[in-house]
């Protein structure tokens, strides 16, 4: 049974999530990743199998399905 690292809840819902990663200085988005999402706080947990599949995708020869432009802002306190 999984326990949320953030709030300690044991209630999760299986969902597909999108995550942003930085690979070699570039931002990439991976869509529809199977995950457990904490019902209390929304913390996302990936299985080790899914984590490895995403790692291999990002470090391998997989081609992206689309590209988007992203605006970048610098925080100036």
Q: Which CATH architecture has domain 1-77?
A: Roll (3.10)
Residue 70 confidence (pLDDT): 86
Residue 29 confidence (pLDDT): 96
Q: How far apart are CA 25 and CA 61, in angstroms?
A: 17
Residue 62 confidence (pLDDT): 92
- DSSP state letters, 11-62: -EEEEEEEEEEEETTEEEEEEEEEEEEETTT--EE--HHHHHHHHHHHHTTP
Residue 9 confidence (pLDDT): 97
Q: Is the dihedral of CA 57, 26, 30, 54 positive or negative?
A: positive
Residue 6 confidence (pLDDT): 94
The domain locations on the chain are 1-77
Residue 1 confidence (pLDDT): 75
Instruction: Please give the average pLDDT of every successive group of 10 residues along the chain, which has 77 residues.
Output: 92 97 92 97 97 95 92 93
- Sheet (strand 26-38) strand order: 12-23, 26-38, 44-45
């Amino acid at each position: 049974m999984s326990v949320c690292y953030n709030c300690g809840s044991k209630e999760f819902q299986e969902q597909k999530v999108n995550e942003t990663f930085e690979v070699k200085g570039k931002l990439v988005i991976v869509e529809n990743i199977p995950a457990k999402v904490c019902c209390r706080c929304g913390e996302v947990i990936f299985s080790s199998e899914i984590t490895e599949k995403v790692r291999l995708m990002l470090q391998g020869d997989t081609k992206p399905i689309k590209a988007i432009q992203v605006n970048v802002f610098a925080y100036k306190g």
